[in-house]
Structure 1
Amino acid sequence: MDPAGRVLAKARLPEGVAGMARLHALVAGQFGAADPDEVEVVVGIETDRGPWVAALVAAGYLVFAVNPLQASQYRKRHAVSGAKSDAADAHVLADMVRTDSHQLRPVAGDSAEAEAIKVVTRMHKTLIWERTRTTQRLRHALREYFPAALEAFEDLDAADTLELLTKAPDPAAAARLTTAQITAALKRARRRSIADKAAAIQAALRAEHLGQPAVVTAAYAASTRALVAVLAVLNEQVTGLQGQVEAHFGRHPAAEIILSQPGLGPILGARVLAEFGDDPDRYASAKARKNYAATSPITRASGKKKVALARYVHNDRLIDALMSQAFAALNASPGARAYYDKQRARGADHNPALRQLANRLVGILHGCLKTNTHYNETTAWTHPTQTLAA
């Protein structure tokens, strides 16, 4: 599409090198006698990562990653019928970057190190989420046929719990577990107060509870074995990836600055770096970083009505890491604790107050990264007063 909106060419391209080569040829065919170095090619695409995005940026195109929600709303400017097709979506994306590129965000020029951190941190968090889902499935199954296990074991994904459920996945087998077997599992899991815990677990497993018919219990036991096996693998892979996250993050130049922030350790720090990226020109100001983080509120004003609301369209992984940082900072930073208490005193509930604290911490992080300085408790939470000359 040219600057006037006239469609110059259209094509469906294959994946891989062949598709990229055809795209280059398609674009080059529109230059005519013009010098290719003087022609700017702007590309709209509904993702900010992957081989195609990397190849487009490397080829010198100005690439805008368009949020699918933006494209969906923009589509209504062309038609209100609700019709949708790949060709129409391509036309919408081309028209968006032609007319509204000043409103869009170019693909960030993150380093390869930051991209590597993003890969391992996202998979690490994905496996943790999957472990939580699998644990809930196990909890639901045990509640249906083996409620004694829920009373006996505090953490269903713990190593000792998984070992004992593997040996005894049904009430009858669990009631036959000896103190020695339970104690051995607790020792391998490095538990404390082993004797007391072993006695409590044995008593809970031998207590009377409502049950299911034998054939149903056997079916549930088979399901429990499968879920326990999945949890064991997930635990192993989460631990292995944690080491990879720490190793990749430790080699990044900004790691020390990020680790100096209150509430951020190697894992949370790696997640924050991965989701923010390390392009120094990506965020024009602290406000821009806060808006991307979705910690800053949005304002809805109409007539005399004006309200500030939380942003519900956000990067789930980033906001999760920032809220975890804010909660940890309550004990790590007196300034953060005082700021949180101030919000609560103004009537804010826990989550809104924590979100405001996270918003403040994002601004502090932005300043530290821009000036290449470590976090300082006094500087971060002191507001100097300005004296105006008479």
Structure 2
Amino acid sequence: MFVGDDWAEDHHDIELMDSAGRRLAKARLPEGVAGMTRLHALVGEAVGEGADTAEVVVGIETDRGPWVRALVTAGYTVLTVNPLQAARFRDRLAVSGAKSDPGDAHVLADMVRTHSHELRSVAGDSAQAEAVKVVTRTHKTLIWERTRHTQRLRHALRDYFPAALAAFEDLDAADALELLGKAPTPAQAAKLTTGQISAALKRAHRKSVTAKAKAIQGALREQHLGQPEEVAAAYAASITALIAVLATLNTQIKTLQGQVEAHFGRHPAAEILLSQPGMGVVLGARVLAEFGDDPDRYASAKARKNYAGTSPITRASGKKKVALARYVHNDRLIDALLTQAFGTLRYSPNAYAYYQRQRARGAGHNAALRQLANRLVGILHGCLKTGTLYDEATAWSHHAELATS
């Protein structure tokens, strides 16, 4: 039994198909318990007496959510179809360009009927890994939001208060936000005393408070081109709002980091991940969240590297052959892996030597770092498969032999 499920926020278009490609049923089901109950009934009616032994394969363009979880719990084989794959397959069935939700359900059903061996099943990650994913993704999203709001604050200050940019290195730091909140205009900032600035620096746990307070006061009192008083007041109201948002984001990021550390610390793979060079608690949690912990998801180290987006794509045609970076990848995962790779340059002599060999071959910094990340993913795969901690000598023994030969 093959089922195509074209999902929307409040409904699902379903088509049931047998192995010969004949349509057995189709329906539009509501999201939720009622819709899932109706789907089970449709499958039961179509299968008949062989319901206990029948295999039901479902194709759907998502791998998360309560609906997908219910499909997996019911014992169905759920295959995740990339929307781009579905669009290409639709073009094979009809060239007119016509598209509809019931038509997409038909495409998905036929796709899993004929190409199920080439599609990835929904990962069977544990509840622990899912919990880590929820908190780490939210934590990272808030960090991205803080960066965006900090850039907005920077652009506003550049337009009317450039002295603040010279005074504060980190605009999202607690001392900078406090002082900008007290004195959001150039005129007000110029009146800040060293005592007020020192108090803010002490509350932010800064070092060399006296010297930094004098430097900040001097920078705030320097002459710069400015805006009319009325315009400056309007800008001050705008950045006051941005400062409030940034302060809230800082608080929530710190709170969520505690949740990330707590959930990750309870996962069985945490010790192995933390043994990897350049990997801390937050970074390890992000890597675990995006890779998942299904032991059967990655058939080989190459499969894990392909999913990570660190392995190159080879394009060959005639006499031309070129290796290119993968630009379609999981942004959260590749960000974490490249951050780890950069960190290993300080903590792993063999990783640093590997990076330098790539640079000697003419690779740029980013390309060499991506190749190092690719190698580290392979090492991580071996450690997770065998349940062993990272060992510098074992992980790099083959490359050490090549380097000396």
Return the TM-score normalized by structure 1: 0.97
Q: Give me the whole-angstrom Cα distance separating, in 1, the residues matched to 2:221 and 2:242.
A: 23
1:163-183 Cα deviation digits (max 9, x unpaired): 001101111111111111001
1:10-38 Cα deviation digits (max 9, x unpaired): 111111111111111111110123x2122
Any stretches of 5+ residues in structure 1 without a counterpart?
A: none
Corresponding residue for residue 146 of structure 1: 161
**1:187 corresponds to which letter in structure 2?**
K
Corresponding residue for residue 9 of structure 1: 25
Corresponding residue for residue 83 of structure 1: 98
Verify: 1:327 aligned to 2:339, yes or no.
Answer: no
Secondary structure, in 3 states, of the residue corresponding to 1:8? strand
Aligned ranges for residues 49-60 of structure 1 at < 5 Å? 49-60=64-75
Secondary structure, in 3 states, of the residue corresponding to 1:12? strand
Q: Give me the whole-angstrom Cα distance separating, in 2, the residues matched to 1:202 and 1:73.
A: 62
Corresponding residue for residue 169 of structure 1: 184
**1:157 corresponds to which letter in structure 2?**
D
Q: Give me the whole-angstrom Cα distance separating, in 2, the residues matched to 1:229 and 1:153.
A: 17
Verify: 1:364 aligned to 2:379, yes or no.
Answer: yes
Instruction: Choose 115-124 or 202-211, whichever is displaced more.
Output: 202-211
Verify: 1:32 aligned to 2:42, yes or no.
Answer: no
Q: Give me the whole-angstrom Cα distance separating, in 2, the residues matched to 1:191 and 1:74.
A: 59
Q: Give me the whole-angstrom Cα distance separating, in 2, the residues matched to 1:315 and 1:166.
A: 38
Instruction: Choose 375-384 or 54-63, whichever is displaced more.
Output: 375-384
**1:362 corresponds to which letter in structure 2?**
V
The match for 1:200 among 188, 191, 215 is 215
**2:43 corresponds to which letter in structure 1?**
V
Verify: 1:157 aligned to 2:172, yes or no.
Answer: yes
Verify: 1:179 aligned to 2:194, yes or no.
Answer: yes
Corresponding residue for residue 128 of structure 1: 143
The match for 1:93 among 93, 96, 108 is 108
Superposition deviation, residue 4 in structure 1: 1.5
**2:112 corresponds to which letter in structure 1?**
V
Superposition deviation, residue 96 in structure 1: 1.1
Name the structure where strand makes up a greater proportion of residues. 2
Corresponding residue for residue 13 of structure 2: none
Q: Give me the whole-angstrom Cα distance separating, in 1, the residues matched to 2:400 and 2:207.
A: 53
Q: Percent identity?
A: 78
Q: Give me the whole-angstrom Cα distance separating, in 2, the residues matched to 1:66 and 1:338.
A: 40
Superposition deviation, residue 74 in structure 1: 1.7
Superposition deviation, residue 385 in structure 1: 10
**2:308 corresponds to which letter in structure 1?**
A
Superposition deviation, residue 332 in structure 1: 1.0
Q: Give me the whole-angstrom Cα distance separating, in 1, the residues matched to 2:174 and 2:19.
A: 62
The match for 1:18 among 22, 26, 34 is 34
Q: Give me the whole-angstrom Cα distance separating, in 1, the residues matched to 2:343 and 2:168.
A: 27
What is the aligned residue count?
385
1:25-73 Cα deviation digits (max 9, x unpaired): 111110123x212211100111111101110000000001111121122
Superposition deviation, residue 384 in structure 1: 8.4
Superposition deviation, residue 276 in structure 1: 0.4
**2:299 corresponds to which letter in structure 1?**
A
Q: Give me the whole-angstrom Cα distance separating, in 1, the residues matched to 2:127 and 2:104.
A: 30
Secondary structure, in 3 states, of the residue corresponding to 1:329? helix
Return the TM-score normalized by structure 2: 0.93
Corresponding residue for residue 348 of structure 1: 363
Q: Give me the whole-angstrom Cα distance separating, in 2, the residues matched to 1:71 and 1:164.
A: 53
Superposition deviation, residue 83 in structure 1: 2.8
Verify: 1:107 aligned to 2:129, yes or no.
Answer: no
What RMSD in Å do the two structures reach over aligned CA positions? 1.2
Instruction: Choose 82-91 or 104-113, whichever is displaced more.
Output: 82-91
Superposition deviation, residue 79 in structure 1: 2.2
1:299-343 Cα deviation digits (max 9, x unpaired): 001000000000000001000000000000111111100100010
Secondary structure, in 3 states, of the residue corresponding to 1:9? strand
**2:86 corresponds to which letter in structure 1?**
A
**2:30 corresponds to which letter in structure 1?**
P
Aligned ranges for residues 245-264 of structure 1 at < 5 Å? 245-264=260-279
Secondary structure, in 3 states, of the residue corresponding to 1:11? strand
Corresponding residue for residue 214 of structure 1: 229
